[in-house]
A and B are shown apart, each in its own frame.
Chain A
Amino acid sequence: MTENEILVKMGDYAIAYEGTTLTTLGLGSCVGVVIYDRLSNVYGMAHVMLPDSKESQIKDLDRKALFSAGPTLPKDDVKGVLTKHEFSIVAEADQKDSLISSYKTVKPSLTYIDTQLPPTSGEEAMVEIKNMNPSSNIIMMVSHLDKPLINSLLIKGADDVMMGPFTEKNILDPSDHVIKKNFMRFADIAIPKMIESMKDKGAKKENMKAKVVGGACMFAELKLNADIGKRNYEAVKKILVEYGIPIEFEEVGGATGRTIRFDTSEAKLRIHTKDGEKVVG
């Protein structure tokens, strides 16, 4: 674990800027997908569990939100968009302590925190809530494109970051990501969502490249379920082909667990297995 590492949880994705390492741990049948645009410096990683969502019985989170903002955030605009899209803001806070106590009382599905939240910063409140409940869902709000700040929020565990200007698109992108987070385990949902979100962040489809790792079969002799890794890989590949994004590196299959770390400054991928580590293109 390096200090600039963003941990991508199983069944989720994260998008960051240069200066970070995107990491996902212990891929077995799951597939790790890196998509990046070196020219725009936008980097994404997804940890896919299942090929498609059609047969699933998973639901969205309910739209119960806790909202906190300091004095400078245009909170009525943001709240207006959320309410219009059927988010229900069940509690509000204007400083850290009241946010924490509201969090404990209302148990929201998702919590919006202004990085400028008094008295010091919203970041502290986020870390406190995450320590209290690692499964909490937190969207940090940043008033303008401040890449180092956004990176650092993701490193510290924010589920997503909403950035200004607070247009409808910028408000809904992270909100949808979190509310549909149970669907981010499916390739057919996570990969298109990550690509679209990268485009919103300035990446261009024609510059995007992909690296795909994982899809193993950990119990080598097992017949049942054995092809899930392969099906995950095929689903990912099909989507990348549809988008016209070339796979410049892949290491899939076998019977080995793999941790991947994508260093955004070098655009290099490190693959760690129980037998050692290597750096690939």
Chain B
Amino acid sequence: MDSIIDLNDMEMDALKEVGNVGVGNAATALSKILNKKIDINIPETTFIPITEFSSELGGAEKIVTGIYLKMEGDLDGETIFLFSQESAMRLVDLMMGQEPGTTKTMGEMEISAFKEMSNIFSGAYLSALANMVGMSIFPGIPHISSDMLQSIIDMVLITIANYANNVLCVKTKISIENKAVEGEFVMIFNASSLKKLIDTIHSKYGLS
């Protein structure tokens, strides 16, 4: 078995919907704190082989800023949000009310501003997910790192690698005042949590 769990099309659609609602809610929260209009593309939800993960997401050595947090409560899992370095710096400029292009590196102050944003962002994401499935899911403390994509993601892929070869990835693009901010959101559930999530979606939304 390559994936953690075998899903039919309907279940995959339900998971996509979970991703969409989460991303939508997170973008709305972001829009509020930045006080900017935010547009969001329909996310792409797929299982990606762990060995192909970084090439699918723009290359192993691409510098990205990642926000990592654990999900606790009824579901046990991990989430990582990845932003291209450019997008992360654009978000920092917006957070700090600076002219776009002011931020040139992700230093201590920038990371702190970014962390502020990620607290709100990830909280909104997970509360949408929790509401949708009627579960309690609490975000752990977000951790930030700016480095090569592969190196940032490998810890999360390692968690999966003990029992599966694929990882669930929700990819989306958000634009803030017509400027693109690209983000990739990777949700990792352990097998029992993923099953629980699917079962809940089944009973709540009557999928067959």
Contact yes or no, A135 B52, CB < 8 A: yes
Which of A50, A182, A272 meets B158, CB within 8 Å?
A: A50
Instruction: Give A228 to B158 CA distance when docked, in angstroms.
Output: 9
Contact yes or no, A25 B60, CB < 8 A: yes
Contact yes or no, A218 B55, CB < 8 A: no
* A55 nearest CB neighbor, chain B only: B162
Contact yes or no, A10 B63, CB < 8 A: no
* B159 nearest CB neighbor, chain A only: A225
Contacts of B154 in A (CB 8 A): 10, 26-30, 49, 218
Which of A49, A57, A257 meets B157, CB within 8 Å?
A: A49
Contacts of A182 in B (CB 8 A): 165
Task: Answer yes or no: B151 CB below 8 A from chain A CBs.
Answer: yes
Take A222-B143, A224-B70 as given contacts and tell me if A25 and B148 are in contact as well, using a CB distance cutoff of 8 Å: yes
Give a binary string over A1-26; 1 marks a CB under 8 Å from any B CB, 0 the rest: 00000000111100000000000011
Contact yes or no, B147 A57, CB < 8 A: no
Instruction: Give A29 to B158 CA distance when docked, in angstroms.
Output: 9
* B54 nearest CB neighbor, chain A only: A26
Task: Answer yes or no: A56 CB below 8 A from chain B CBs.
Answer: yes
Q: In chain A, residues 208-260, which have Cβ atoms closer than 8 Å to a Cβ of chain B?
A: 216, 218-222, 224-225, 228, 255-259
Number of interface residues of A (CB under 8 A): 37
Which of B66, B151, B153 meets A216, CB within 8 Å?
A: B151
* B78 nearest CB neighbor, chain A only: A225
Task: Answer yes or no: B205 CB below 8 A from chain A CBs.
Answer: no
Distance in Å: Cβ of B129 to nearest Cβ of chain A: 20
* A255 nearest CB neighbor, chain B only: B145
Task: Answer yes or no: A185 CB below 8 A from chain B CBs.
Answer: yes
Contact yes or no, B148 A259, CB < 8 A: yes
Contact yes or no, B61 A11, CB < 8 A: no
Instruction: Give A228 to B155 CA distance when docked, in angstroms.
Output: 8
Distance in Å: Cβ of B108 to nearest Cβ of chain A: 12
Q: In chain A, residues 160-193, which have Cβ atoms closer than 8 Å to a Cβ of chain B?
A: 182, 185
Task: Answer yes or no: A39 CB below 8 A from chain B CBs.
Answer: no
Distance in Å: Cβ of B195 to nearest Cβ of chain A: 14
Distance in Å: Cβ of B155 to nearest Cβ of chain A: 5
Task: Answer yes or no: A59 CB below 8 A from chain B CBs.
Answer: yes
Which of A26, A50, A185, A219 meets B68, CB within 8 Å?
A: A219
Give a binary string over B123-164; 1 marks a CB under 8 Å from any A CB, 0 the rest: 000000000000000000001111111111111011101111
Instruction: Give A50 to B1 CA distance when docked, in angstroms.
Output: 19
* A12 nearest CB neighbor, chain B only: B51
Instruction: Give A135 to B51 CA distance when docked, in angstroms.
Output: 8
Instruction: Give A216 to B66 CA distance when docked, in angstroms.
Output: 15
Distance in Å: Cβ of A94 to nearest Cβ of chain B: 31
Take A26-B61, A28-B155, A29-B158 as given contacts and tell me if A11 and B147 are in contact as well, using a CB distance cutoff of 8 Å: no
Max chain A CB contacts within 10 Å: which of B1, B55, B147, B154?
B154
Task: Answer yes or no: A281 CB below 8 A from chain B CBs.
Answer: no
Task: Answer yes or no: B50 CB below 8 A from chain A CBs.
Answer: yes
* A228 nearest CB neighbor, chain B only: B158
Take A25-B54, A182-B165, A257-B151 as given contacts and tell me if A219 and B145 are in contact as well, using a CB distance cutoff of 8 Å: yes
Instruction: Give A134 to B154 CA distance when docked, in angstroms.
Output: 19
Instruction: Give A22 to B105 CA distance when docked, in angstroms.
Output: 31
Contacts of B49 in A (CB 8 A): 135
Contacts of B151 in A (CB 8 A): 26-28, 216, 218, 256-258
Given contacts A49-B161, A218-B154, 19 further A-B contacts (CB under 8 A): A10-B150, A26-B54, A26-B61, A26-B154, A27-B151, A27-B154, A28-B151, A28-B152, A50-B158, A56-B162, A57-B164, A135-B49, A218-B147, A220-B145, A225-B159, A228-B158, A257-B150, A259-B61, A272-B61
Q: Ordered nearest first, which 7 A-B pairs have the shortest CB separation?
A: A257-B151, A26-B150, A28-B151, A25-B60, A219-B143, A257-B148, A26-B148
18 pairs across A/B with beta carbons < 8 Å?
A10-B54, A12-B51, A26-B54, A28-B153, A29-B158, A30-B154, A57-B164, A58-B161, A58-B165, A59-B1, A135-B49, A135-B51, A218-B66, A219-B144, A220-B145, A225-B155, A256-B151, A259-B148
Residues of A within 8 A of B (CB): 9-12, 25-30, 49-50, 55-59, 134-135, 182, 185, 216, 218-222, 224-225, 228, 255-259, 272, 274
Residues of B within 8 A of A (CB): 1, 49-52, 54-55, 60-61, 63, 66, 68, 70, 143-155, 157-159, 161-165
